[in-house]
Amino acid sequence: MTPNDFSAQLKKQGILPAVLLFSGQEDFLAQQSLKKVEQSIETNFRAWDFVRSDMRDQSVPVVLQDVSTMSFSGERRFVIMDQPVFLSSKGSLEKQDEKNFLNYLQNPESENTLIVNTVGIDIDKRKKIVKALLKSGEQVNFEPLPEREVFKIVKRHLSLAHVLMADDVINYYLRRLAFDLRLVMTNLDKLILFGVSGKAIGQEEIDQLVTAELNESAFDLVTEINRRHLDKALQLYVNLIDRGEAPIRINALLQSQYRLLIQAKALSINDTQLAQKLKIHPYRAKLANQAVSVQTMPQLSNAYLDLAKIDFRLKSTTLDPTMLFEMFLSNNV
Amino acid sequence: MYKALYRQYRPRTFSDLVGQKVIAQTLENALKENKVGHAYLFAGPRGTGKTSVAKIFAREIEGIPSDSDQDTFTDIIEIDAASNNGVDEIRNLRDAANYAPIEYPFKIYIIDEVHMLSTGAFNALLKTIEEPPAQVKFILATTEPQKIPATILSRVQRFDFRRISVEDIVARLQYVLDDQKIAYDPEALTVIANASDGGLRDALSILDQAVAVSTTGRIELSDAFEITGSSRIDDQLGFLGHLLNKQTDQAFEDLHRLLLDGKDPVRFAEDLLVLLKNLMLVKIAPELVKETDSQKIQAFSAGYHNAVFQQVIDLVADSLAKMKQTTRPELYLEILAVKIVSQQSELQPKQDAIADQVPVDSAADAAEPSEQAADNTPVAQQLDNAHGNSSSEADEDSQPAQPVDQPRTVEQQIPTKKVLTSSTPVSTDSAAAWHVMAEAVKEELRAVQDAWPDIQADFDPAVLMLAENAEPVAASRTALIFAFNHPELADAAAETADFVGKLAESLSDLLGVDYQLVFISDTAWMTLKKNYIAKLHGADIDPPMPVPELKKNEADSQAALSQSPQLQPDIPEKSSEAVPEEAGDNADVVEKAEKLFGNIVKVKGEK
């Protein structure tokens, strides 16, 4: 079942299965679905008919007992198992608990629904209990949305709030957050609040309001260096340091970026091939090829070696990292 | 009661706020739209307005007019997490949060330095932050957002505060001083703004002190320097200039004057470091150097190559680390000065040293002074030309006058003529060795080899190590090649006047010949020999190219300093390794060499 199917079924509650297994990686969507479940219940009975248990500090028998209890309102009750680590290879259940759980799965209470929320957890499919869950329960898979979808969602939210933001700016925004839906949505609130005054949102505002994901920042950094916008590069670096990123880490990321550029230069193939060969995002491949076109191999390898030197200095001296970076700029531009 | 300037001038409204315009706008809109969230996180360096914005925002939420004189409000609760970081404190807070506000519509908790909370405290806070009671709002502020657990981060609306620009800070300081009716020197404000590192509170604190220190009732540049402890760019540049020009006495005068003025040596060394960085940076991005005297920096920077600065930076950084551990940092500052000067002389031509140190009355020199002089005169002209027109012949011919590699990159200050006064010719590059091999005579070598143990025994213990690691490997009637079993030794030997002098003397005594000496490394020798033999067998191999640096012209000579001394020994090897490829096309060789060594390969002129 897809998350959309699940929403549709939720509306006609009668046909909801007794056991549901939420799987996948996109936690944000799963939480949204759970919220929908909660809202589908009448307000007066919500506290009783919608129960979430964190399995890290709740035992299985208690939850099973809970899910076997009928609702007062005669409606469907929902019991959610959050963080069931015992389904992954890292945890396990006691014999008796496991037996109880298996028994319940064979004969679940059809009036209620048990949701086992394994989103973000790597379930161990060799486990008996997992096999039983997969067999008797309906699986709802929450996979990260395709980038196109994320774009559409953002666009819809913006137009609902009557906020102006150009398509390329939206893309810039999404890339900064690496298309992470949760980050995209929480930061969107801020952007919308800024934009309600009627001013169009540009890259400048996004830079100010949205904290970019570290890897993206490193890429930005290299891009700015290549464009010779030194003040911007330096600004980015200082911002990263202010955010508490370790200079060694930033340096390592820069190195990996230059490594990518060297690879791109050496291969000199088109964007799509490069993306496939190096298993990177097509957009990055495009940027890499762009950057590489104006640089010579010696320039790139020089920068790479310089970064190695800085790495050594970061680890062996007390020199100010920002100063080292400025020296790097002065040597490589 | 006197209130510190930063408290007097803490902004009371969003429009008062310096910098952070976008954040202010967003928060104002949230108020207008009535969409205030329940938890905020303000992250950013100190003095960028986190607490100020939190206070303004809290007041606006409560609807307290900005002109209210009151400083504290019953329902705006400020907590310093640094001193209330335990689980118990947070539990108390959580329980108190359940009670309704007293005077105002909301209860607002401002938790400063929230990263100081213990893990347990964070967990206790988690649930409350996720779903606080309707009338409760949280504003968290921190300088170190990376220390906040992800579970908290995902539940708050985060705003990152940026450092305030120097211009904005200067403008604010001007506003404050105008408001206080205090006169000032605008440059002093720039110095203060630079010292504050983007934090307005720091800037205002420094200003506060400057006002107190000022004797004239006007904020002068000297007041700013006194408070920030930094020194004038002029002083720093003067000191550095004296060091780089090897005017040690003047440098020491500068130093003592600064110390007498009560400057902190550690601070001065730090200033030097920043200055050196700016000197490098100004070459590519003058707009990034926001000092008051950027023109002076630019002018100074133009006189030197970045490599010079980089080397000095290493020395300063080393000394700085030591200065921080000792009780007498000024001593290390002096040592630093001496080190920089001596490294300058080390990097610059060695000929003074060799000319001075090799005893003039040694048999070797006495034997044929006139011949040397005669030999050298034409070379002087050729060497001068060589700087301009880059021909390899000039190099080979100038061998007798070439003491070591380094002198070829002659500093402007030192007359080129000086090279010629050096009386013990030692070469360390393969080109010279090749030359010798072309005229090699077996008997000569045998004679030297026979005499070698005696010569070795005669060396001073101080330089004996060099002799023990050297081996005569080829000899012509006038020249002798020594191979050293480590590349760096070959150069070190060439630079050790005692060794060279003694060796020349012994050779002259025992064999009666004044050899021209060539020191190379074992590995270089092996490749050279191989190539030479190949050539004898008919392969078309050109002699190794002379060391690249020769082709630099005068203006560029500083650039050669970038070749740190350790790198030098590699160069002969590189050029000789490139030899086999030269059988083919020249361009091909360059390409191959670049493939092998990357950008270290420098092509300097055609042969």
For residue A56, what are its two tokens? 């890290």
| Rounded Cα distance, B299 and B293, in Å | 10
Note the pLDDT of residue A307.
93
Q: Between chains, do A182 and B285 touch, taking CB under 8 Å as contact?
A: no
Residue in A197, A230, A323 closest to B29 by CB: A197
Say whether pLDDT at B40 is over 90: yes
CA atoms within 13 A on the CB side of B427: 25
The mean-pLDDT minimum among A317-326, B465-474, B514-523, B583-592 falls in: B583-592
H/E/C letters for each residue in chain A?
Answer: CCHHHHHHHHHCHHHCCCEEEEEECCHHHHHHHHHHHHHHCCHHHHHHHEEEEECCCCCHHHHHHHHHCCCCCCCCCEEEEECCHHHECCCCCCHHHHHHHHHHHHCCCCCCEEEEECCCCCECCCCHHHHHHHHHCEEEEECCCCHHHHHHHHHHHHHHCCCCECHHHHHHHHHHCCCCHHHHHHHHHHHHHHHCCCCCECHHHHHHHCCCCHHHHHHHHHHHHHHCCHHHHHHHHHHHHHCCCCHHHHHHHHHHHHHHHHHHHHHCCCHHHHHHHHCCCHHHHHHHHHHHHCCCHHHHHHHHHHHHHHHHHHHHCCCCHHHHHHHHHHHHC
Residue in A197, A211, A327 closest to B280 by CB: A327
**A318 contact residues in B (CB cutoff 8 A):** 317, 320-321
DSSP summary character for residue B547: P
> A111 — contact with chain B (CB < 8 Å)?
no
**B283 contact residues in A (CB cutoff 8 A):** 330
Cβ within 8 Å of B, A 268-297: 297
| Rounded Cα distance, B412 and B245, in Å | 11
Give the nearest chain B residue to A198 (CA atoms).
Answer: B29
Average pLDDT over residues B331-352: 73
Note the pLDDT of residue A284.
84
Q: Which residues pair with B484 in a beta bridge?
A: B470, B521
Say whether pLDDT at B89 is over 80: yes
| Rounded Cα distance, A188 and A205, in Å | 12
DSSP summary character for residue B545: P
Proportion of chain A above pLDDT 90, given as a percent:
16
Torsion, Cα of A290, A294, A297, A300 (10° steps): -80
Which residue is associated with the tokens 């925004």?
A173
Q: Between chains, do A299 and B280 touch, taking CB under 8 Å as contact?
A: no
The mean-pLDDT minimum among B8-12, B322-326, B423-427 falls in: B423-427
Say whether pLDDT at B571 is over 60: no
For residue B516, what are its two tokens? 């021209």
- Nearest-5° angle of CA B393, CA B396, CA B402? 135
For residue B330, what are its two tokens? 């000024």
Q: Is B568 exposed, middle or buried (0-12, 13-18, 19+ CB in 10 A)?
A: buried
Q: Between chains, do A329 and B281 touch, taking CB under 8 Å as contact?
A: yes
Confidence of residue B548 (pLDDT cuts 50, 70, 90): very low
**B32 contact residues in A (CB cutoff 8 A):** 196
H/E/C letters for each residue in B131-197?
Answer: CCCCCEEEEEEECCHHHCCHHHHCCCEEEECCCCCHHHHHHHHHHHHHHHCCEECHHHHHHHHHHCC
pLDDT in tens, B244-302: 888 888 888 888 888 888 788 888 888 888 888 888 888 877 777 766 677 888 888 88
Average pLDDT over residues B228-246: 85
Cβ within 8 Å of B, A 239-268: 239, 242-245
**B27 contact residues in A (CB cutoff 8 A):** 193
Plot region of B454 (φ>0 → left; ψ -120 to 50 → alpha; else → beta)? alpha
Q: Which has more confidence, B556 or A328?
A: A328
Residue in B158, B288, B310 closest to A230 by CB: B288
Closest CA to B254 of B272, B240, B270: B240
Quote the mean pLDDT of chain A: 87
User: For residues B416 and B385, is the Cβ–Cβ distance under 8 A?
Assistant: no
Whole-prediction pTM: 0.64
pLDDT in tens, B100-124: 898 899 999 999 999 999 988 888 8
| Rounded Cα distance, A223 and A225, in Å | 5
Q: Which has more confidence, B291 or A164?
A: A164
For residue A306, what are its two tokens? 């310089």
**A301 contact residues in B (CB cutoff 8 A):** 598-599
Give the nearest chain B residue to A300 (CA atoms).
Answer: B599
Confidence of residue B85 (pLDDT cuts 50, 70, 90): confident
- Nearest-5° angle of CA A129, CA A130, CA A134? 120
The mean-pLDDT minimum among A112-121, B23-32, B551-560 falls in: B551-560
Confidence of residue B544 (pLDDT cuts 50, 70, 90): low
Q: Between chains, do B29 and A245 touch, taking CB under 8 Å as contact?
A: no
**A297 contact residues in B (CB cutoff 8 A):** 594, 598-599
Note the pLDDT of residue B370.
42
User: If DSSP codes are grouped into helix, strand and coil, which group holds residue B232?
Assistant: coil
Say whether pLDDT at B348 is over 70: no
Note the pLDDT of residue B388.
42
Note the pLDDT of residue B550.
39
pLDDT in tens, A76-100: 889 999 888 888 888 888 888 889 9
The mean-pLDDT minimum among A153-157, A316-320, B174-178 falls in: A316-320
User: If DSSP codes are grouped into helix, strand and coil, which group holds residue B484?
Assistant: strand
Q: How many residues are given for chain B?
A: 607
pLDDT in tens, A58-70: 888 899 888 888 8
Note the pLDDT of residue A308.
93
Quote the mean pLDDT of chain B: 75
Mutate to test the interface with B, among A34, A83, A242, A258 (most CBs of B within 10 A): A242
Say whether pLDDT at B359 is over 70: no
Note the pLDDT of residue B255.
87
| Rounded Cα distance, A304 and B102, in Å | 61
What are the CA-CA distances from residue A88 to residues A23, A79, A91, B189 (Å)? 12, 20, 6, 61
Closest CA to B568 of B551, B544, B548: B548
**A329 contact residues in B (CB cutoff 8 A):** 281, 284-285
What are the CA-CA distances from residue B200 to residues B173, B394, B451, B491 (Å)? 9, 62, 77, 55
Helix, strand, coil percent content, chain B, rounded in steps of 5: 60, 10, 30
| Rounded Cα distance, A154 and A156, in Å | 5
Helix axes B233-244, B248-260, angle to 10 degrees: 150
User: If DSSP codes are grouped into helix, strand and coil, which group holds residue B502?
Assistant: helix
Q: Which has more confidence, B366 or A250?
A: A250
Note the pLDDT of residue B216.
82
Q: Which has more confidence, B441 or B99?
A: B99
Q: Chain A closest CA to B196's CA: distance in Å?
A: 15
pLDDT in tens, A191-245: 998 888 778 888 888 888 888 777 778 778 888 888 888 888 888 898 888 888 8
Note the pLDDT of residue B425.
57
Q: Between chains, do B317 and A318 touch, taking CB under 8 Å as contact?
A: yes
User: If DSSP codes are grouped into helix, strand and coil, which group holds residue B598?
Assistant: helix
Q: Between chains, do B154 and A318 touch, taking CB under 8 Å as contact?
A: no
Give the nearest chain A residue to B34 (CA atoms).
Answer: A193
> A162 — contact with chain B (CB < 8 Å)?
no
What are the CA-CA distances from residue B376 to residues A52, B363, B370, B373 (Å)? 95, 19, 10, 5
What are the CA-CA distances from residue B562 to residues A312, B273, B306, B310, B549 (Å)? 19, 18, 8, 9, 11
Q: Between chains, do B26 and A242 touch, taking CB under 8 Å as contact?
A: no
Cβ within 8 Å of B, A 32-51: none
- Nearest-5° angle of CA B560, CA B564, CA B566? 135
Note the pLDDT of residue B50.
92
| Rounded Cα distance, A326 and A319, in Å | 12
Say whether pLDDT at A154 is over 80: yes
pLDDT in tens, B152-174: 888 889 999 988 988 899 999 99
Q: Which has more confidence, A184 or A11?
A: A184
Note the pLDDT of residue B586.
63
Q: Which has more confidence, B351 or A164?
A: A164
Residue in A194, A234, A319 closest to B288 by CB: A234
User: For residues B412 and B452, is the Cβ–Cβ distance under 8 A?
Assistant: no
Task: State the count of interchain CB pairs (< 8 A) between A and B.
Answer: 105
> A189 — contact with chain B (CB < 8 Å)?
yes
Q: Between chains, do A327 and B313 touch, taking CB under 8 Å as contact?
A: yes
Say whether pLDDT at B23 is over 50: yes
